[in-house]
Structure 1
Amino acid sequence: MLLLALRPSQRPTPEHEALVRALIEPLTVAVENDHRLRELVMLREAAEAENRTLRSKLGRDDLAGSIVGAETGLREVMEQIELVSTADAPVLILGETGSGKEVVARAIHTRSRRASGPFLRVNCGAIPAELVDSELFGHEKGSFTGAVGERKGWFERADGGTLFLDECGELPPAAQVRLLRILQDGWFERVGGEKPRRADVRIVAATHRDLHAMVHDGRFRQDLWYRLAVFPVYLPPLRERLADVPALAAHFAGRAARRLGMPHLSPTAEEVALLLQYPWPGNVRELAAVIERAAILGNGSGLDVARALGVPPAARPLPPSPSPATAAPATSASAPLATLDEAAARHIEQALARAGGRIEGPQGAAAILGLNPHTLRSRMRKLGVDWGRFRVPRGDGA
């Protein structure tokens, strides 16, 4: 309906009628476009809701059984998960990229009283700085160019459930201030809005960055650090829990076989040995990619782990000989097998020898092993490795 307002002293004229007729068509088009935009927004939100539901269901199904490594390398992490799941405190998961931080976050959610609510993941590093507030807290219609309708933010969508803030160290300072407020009292405002809103959300944050150093440098708010790190959980990298590699490899091989429509696949002892020798800078994510690549390269007949890792033929372990005379020493019970700690200590010593005892720097043992120097020193202390035995006397080094 189009209304034309005139002053009390005015009466409609043919000019007014011509003006109304001229405006009817463009206004009709504008109204139709507005309706279409609203429908598109509603359809998009419905699709997002369905996608979240499916992803949440897939996450619950994947976690229906025990987490791979729960009884070995992740035993301490699982104990912490069981402790904090029943509480509603914020959790900060610290670990390298690809180490499985989202798996831990989902495990906390599915074991909590919020398990029936939504579990939403936000990659804070993937959101443009100018859109962070809108994505997290929503916006009102007309609050900025392109805001053709109101939109709920991640906090409103996660109401009653868990919001996983992945790579929280990437949040810009302005968003850190608003995040601190909602952590303090649960209230927030949409961009362009004046009405305070409340969301009952449990925060699980994660980062691969050193937030302590970022706080010291002023790149991350100290008060926000205290709010997020109520219960920190350190997730060790895969190279520090090599005992999990065989089980993880078997798990990913089975998953790859199902995805690729292949018969059951399982790594052999020789292939597991190759996997244990690799440093895994990309952690569990890289292992999953390697196993799937090995399944594709195997072309349905098995896994080709050596090619997937890029191991040259000369460096591959030889298969056991079928001859009883040569097979006996390899399977002899009298031959002691090194423990994982002993094997790791020897591996570190080899790197130190190659680096001349140097730990840091581009040619240091830490770079050779793909480790952080602090992590390497901690590991050396735990294993009793004396780097001084390998040090070449030539000025500074470690």
Structure 2
Amino acid sequence: MIIGYNKGLKKTMRQVELVAQTDSTALILGETGAGKEIIARHIHMNSARANNSFIRVNCGAIPSDLIDSELFGHEKGSFTGATSLKKGWFERAHGGTLFLDEVGELSLAAQVRLLRVLQEGTLCRVGGEKEINVDVRIVAATHRNLEEAAKNGGFREDLWFRINVFPITLPSLRHRPEDIRELTEYFAQKASVKLGLPLTLPSQSQINYLMQYHWPGNVRELQVIIERAAILGQGSHLAIEESLIIKPELLSSVARSQLTDIVQQEASPISLDDVIRQHITKTLIYCHGRIEGPFGAAKRLDLNPNTLRSKIHKLGITKFNDV
């Protein structure tokens, strides 16, 4: 993906372009799901190592008793179950880039051994005695505050200094809504290829809709929503509104402010029945007239479908189609 230079990422991307031209260690900081791996791959693809391997390791997903074998490899017979020689992630990434995702989740013991490899550029496989040279560019990432963890003893201070050569802070998606269109189109293209469906792109009204959301799950959540929208649309459209039903508490601060303004600007008070009638009518239009089912108005309004039909009849709501 070629990441654009919209306002939300302009400063970050300047840093990314600068560090990509070097061989320095980079540390990407940001919330879970903010797109740290996308940035790490961008650094690799714009570096002198682009033609070699890019290997991602989720440090938080490796059991503590396997971390040495996974990172540094092992010799045949070095422990029960080691039936053959295995190269670790460092050796596999030789000449390329090793992306240590969630590096803050490593145990203190693993941090010691990682620091030695980073400082000396050599390693020994588990059960081996031979020093093996490795030429690897490290890009690390974390959602944790490693500086604070280092002060509290939860992360080695010397390792913190070693990987914090060039820190890059990646803003969360809710702080860069200008990137939603580009990311949505990118994920729509990926979903089209993955699902074998015709490519369909979002409309401007759908982009506006997505920009109202708070995005607690960041870029990762957007990718899931777009893939779901592609499945539901089956190549005819992106069913974004069915894939993401925005609850009031998850509106963005801007959208919430706009809603408050509308309420405050109401010229004169209206009856409770009128308020309910307007709300139900808008919900039915939003749900394309559906009453029942996972994307029906009853589900969105948290009502029994029969109760909703009764209210529709009582309030005289007629301008919708029950499908």
TM-score range, shorter chain: 0.7 to 0.9
Q: Does 1:91 align with 2:26?
A: yes
Question: Does the C-alpha gap of structure 1 residues 265 and 213 become closer, same or farther in structure 2, counting only changes over 3 Å?
Answer: same
- CA distance 1:94–1:347, shift in 2 (3 Å): farther
Structure 2 CA distance for aligned equivalents of residues 246 and 126 of structure 1:
32
Q: What is aligned with 1:346?
A: 257
Structure 1 residues 187 and 256: alpha-carbon distance in aligned structure 2, compared to 1, 3 A threshold: closer
Match of 1:134 in 2: 69
Match of residue 174 from structure 1:
109
Q: How many residues align?
A: 258
CA distance in 2, matches of 1:109, 1:246: 24
| Equivalent residue for 2:206, pick from 256, 271, 293 | 271
The amino acid that maps onto 1:135 is E
Give the secondary-structure state (helix, strand or coil) at the position aligned to 1:232.
strand
Aligned pair partner of 1:240 in 172, 175, 188: 175
- 1:73 match: 8
After TM superposition, list the pairs within 5 Å mapping 1:291-370 onto structure 2. Answer: 291-311=226-246, 343=254, 346=257
**Partner letter of residue 191 of structure 2?**
A
1:102 and 2:37 matched: yes
* CA-CA distance at 1:117 after TM superposition: 1.7
Per-residue deviation, 1:310: 2.2
TM-score, normalised to structure 2, is 0.74
Letter of the aligned partner of 1:158 in structure 2? A
Q: Which residue in 1 is equivalent to 2:151?
A: 216
What is the TM-score with the length of structure 1 in the denominator? 0.61
Q: Distance between the aligned counterparts of 1:144 and 1:343, measured in 2?
A: 58
Aligned residue for 2:118?
Answer: 183
Higher alpha-carbon deviation: 150-159 or 256-265: 256-265
Partner of 2:97: 162
Across the aligned residues of Structure 1 and Structure 2, the Cα RMSD in angstroms comes to 2.4
Q: Distance in 2 between matches of 1:148 and 1:204?
A: 31
Q: Which of 116, 140, 147 is the matching residue for 2:82?
A: 147
Aligned CA distance change for structure 1 residues 213 and 261 (closer, same or farther; 3 Å): same
Q: Which residue of structure 2 lines up, in the alignment, with residue 262 of structure 1? A: 197
2:142 is aligned, of 170, 192, 207, to 207
Deviation readout 1:213-245 (Å, 9 max, x if unpaired) = 221221110000000010001111100000111
Once the two structures are superposed, residues 9-34 of structure 1 have per-residue CA deviations (whole angstroms, 9 ceiling, x without a partner) of xxxxxxxxxxxxxxxxxxxxxxxxxx
Q: Is the 8 A contact 2:6 2:179 kept in 1?
A: no
Partner SS state of residue 194, structure 2: helix
Give the secondary structure class of the aligned counterpart of 2:65. Answer: helix
How far is 1:348 from its partner?
12
Report if the CA contact (8 A) 2:230-2:238 is conserved: yes
Distance change in 2, residues 1:262/1:158 (3 Å): closer
| Structure 2 unaligned residues grouped into runs of 5+ | 262-323
- Structure with the greater relative contact order (CA < 8 A, sep ≥ 6): 1 or 2? 2
CA distance in 2, matches of 1:279, 1:134: 40
Q: Tell me the CA shift for residue 136 of structure 1.
A: 0.6
CA distances 1:32-85 after superposition (whole Å, capped 9, x unpaired): xxxxxxxxxxxxxxxxxxxxxxxxxxxxxxx4xx22x33442221221111111
Matches of 1:86 and 1:245, distance apart in 2: 27
